[in-house]
Each structure stands twice: as C-alpha cells, then as structure tokens.
Amino acid sequence: MPRTARQKSFDSIYHVMIKSVGDTILYKEDEDKDNFMKFLKRYKEIFLFKIYAYCLMDNHAHFIIDSNGADISKFMHVINQCYAQYYNKKYDRHGHVFADRFKSIIVDDNAYLVTLSGYIHKNPEDIKKFHEKIQEYPFSSLGIYLGLFKDKYNILDPYFVLTQFSYDIKRARELYIKFVGKCNDPKMKEIVEFEGDGSEYRSERKILVRDFAPQKVLEFVANYAKTITPDMFHVKGKKDSKDYRALCIFLMRSLCNLSCKEICAFAGNITASQVSHLCAYGFSLFKNNEKYKNIISDFIKSAC
C-alpha cells in the first residue's frame, strides 16, 4: 500500500511521535535515551529547528517541534537513522528499530499547542516510580518547564508554551502544573496518539526562510576563509579545500534545505556518503574552531 503524503509546511509547528517496531524496546537503558537526546541536539544545531516539549518513554517518544523553515522530514530521518545505527551496533542486532516513518501532525492553534504539551508531559504517569511525581521524570521537559531541572541538553524553549499562561514566569509555572493535572479528556488523548488529524498553525513567530542559493554559500565561505576561491568547491582532492568544502556543505544542509543527494548533484563529483561525512566535519569546525563559531549567524546577516 502506498504511503500517505506527509502534511508539511516550512513555517509550522508539529507534534512528532516516534515508536519502536513490534515489541522492541526503543530505549532499554537511560544511556539510550541520553544518546538519542544527543543526536537530537546535534541536528537541532545543524538545522536550527526549535523544540517546545518532549518526553521519551521506553517504546516511543513525543516532541513538539517548530521546523523554523526547515524540512522536518530531512532532519527527523537523519536523527532516527543515527539512533538506529547506534542501537543495532550496541545490541548486536539488524533490521528496523522504528515502526515505519515518524508520525507528525501540524498543530493548528494555541489551545491545541498548550493542551498537547500537557498530555505529552503526563506520559510518565504510566511509570510506577513516577506515577505521582511526573515532574521528576528526567527524560521529559516538564521538570525544565517548572524550573526543577536545568536544560541538560540545551535544546528546549519552554517559554513559548509557558507565556500562553502568563508573562510572569513564576505565575506561569503555577498555572501550568495545575493545567497539566487536568489533562484527562479522552478526545485529546486520541489526538495525541494520532487517531485524529491536525491542520496548519501559523503564528507571529519569526521563521528562518531557507531560500539561500548554494552559489551564495560558496562565495560567502570563500570570503570568510580568505584563502580560497569559490571554484575550489568543485575541485576534489586539494589539500587546502577540505575545510572549505565541509563548511559549504554544512551551510547548504542547514540553510538551503538541500538533501545529500541534491548537494551531490550540485557538486557533481561527490557521493552521498562523502557529503554526510563532510557535513559532520563542517559541523565539528563550527562547534570547535573559534574562527567559525559565528559562521551561521554571519551568513544570515550577510544574506539579508
């Protein structure tokens, strides 16, 4: 049976759910949940999407994600792929880890957004240890919302939801935890479990429009590096060109909404595997080399 086309919009907020295949436990240990969150953080820093809420359970996980102009399919696919490779290697297994594609529904209004966050945060009620203290579950964003935990992974924007209650953060937290306790409507549970449908939600959020041309990336990075010319991107094997090509590919993935295959077609002399490795290297330069720590923000400023 053919797959149903995914409802997408580059300026939307999504409820995303991932689920294990069959009876497989998706996260057998806390270490597995921790590693999934690290993959999520890594690709958040590459694709610049936003996370408003999350909860990881043993066989599934929920997220509220603002795509912020990026293609949600591109970054969710690579996150799940990285985790599946990690999981199969660790547990010496083969085959699928996730049940089909990830599921997503576009959030349609503010009421749905805040109610959805409440239901996601109630998930740990099913864990005996946390049944009466869901705010203490370490792999949910609720504790961060309430100021009980620091954002260990530095990935969450809790204030987008909390400010729907009050701009006074203390008051917002008081109102929010009371609200979460009242999230018992079975109709809403159907939506959370993807038995319902959702329509498009646009707000006054500032969206990063990712319509930058690849050639503009080449010119910008060449000028940024000051030791190379744009034509070097298409020259394979030059000793001085690896950093340049890696940074260009990293920015193309981040800001041009190009897939690895599309970058291959643009470059003309590179495989999808090489694109993936160079993107990872470009990301490491961005994270670890002082010279390139502002390259994304500087590029966006230069292109405006």
Per residue in 57-96, pLDDT (tens digit) is 999 999 999 999 999 998 999 999 999 999 999 999 988 8
Q: What amino acid is encoded at 219 in this protein?
A: E
Is 128 exposed, middle or buried (CB count within 10 Å of its CB: 0-12, 13-18, 19+)? exposed
Find the mean pLDDT for residues 261-279. Answer: 90
Find the mean pLDDT for residues 161-169. Answer: 94
pLDDT score of 138: 96
- What is the b/e burial string over 257-281, where b = at least 16 CB atoms within 10 angstroms of the residue's CB? bbbbebbbebbeebeeebbbebbeb
**Do residues 80 and 40 touch, judged by C-beta distance below 8 A?**
no
What span, in angstroms and rounded, lies between the C-alpha atoms of 262 and 237? 21
For the cut 80, the answer to whether the pLDDT of residue 284 exceeds it is yes
Q: Which two tokens stand for residue 123?
A: 């998930």
**Nearby residues of 292 by Cβ (< 8 Å), 6 or more positions away:** 224, 247, 285, 286
For the cut 70, the answer to whether the pLDDT of residue 276 exceeds it is yes
When pLDDT is cut at 50, 70 and 90, the band that residue 301 belongs to is confident
Domain 214-303 class in CATH: mainly alpha
H helix count then E strand count, the chain: 12, 4
- Max mean pLDDT among 170-179, 223-232, 294-303 falls in 170-179
pLDDT score of 5: 45
For the cut 60, the answer to whether the pLDDT of residue 164 exceeds it is yes
pLDDT score of 187: 54
Between 43-47, 105-109, 117-121, the lowest mean confidence (pLDDT) is in 105-109
**Do residues 64 and 112 touch, judged by C-beta distance below 8 A?**
no
Task: Choose between 48 and 204: higher pLDDT.
Answer: 48
Q: How many angstroms from the chain centroid is the CA of residue 113?
A: 17
Q: To 10 degrees, what angle do helices 260-267 and 272-288 make?
A: 100
Report the DSSP beta bridge partners of residue 194: none
Q: Which two tokens stand for residue 250?
A: 């990293």
pLDDT over 70, % of the chain = 87
Helix (H, G, I), strand (E, B) or coil at 58: coil
For the cut 60, the answer to whether the pLDDT of residue 103 exceeds it is yes
Q: Which two tokens stand for residue 254?
A: 């981040």
CA nearest to 121, candidates 95, 156, 153: 156
pLDDT score of 102: 79
pLDDT score of 211: 80
Domain locations along the chain: 13-192, 214-303
The DSSP output letter for 174 is: H
CA nearest to 282, candidates 299, 265, 302, 304: 299
**Nearby residues of 177 by Cβ (< 8 Å), 6 or more positions away:** 135, 146
Between 127-131, 187-191, 273-277, the lowest mean confidence (pLDDT) is in 187-191
For the cut 90, the answer to whether the pLDDT of residue 279 exceeds it is yes
Neighbours of 192 (CB within 10 A): 20
When pLDDT is cut at 50, 70 and 90, the band that residue 199 belongs to is very low
What CATH code would you report for 13-192? 3.30.70.1290
Helix (H, G, I), strand (E, B) or coil at 185: coil
Average pLDDT over the chain, rounded to whole?
A: 86
Around 145, how many Cα atoms within 13 Å sit in the side-chain half-sphere? 36
Find the mean pLDDT for residues 125-137. Answer: 92
pLDDT score of 197: 40
60: left (phi over 0), alpha (psi -120 to 50) or beta: beta
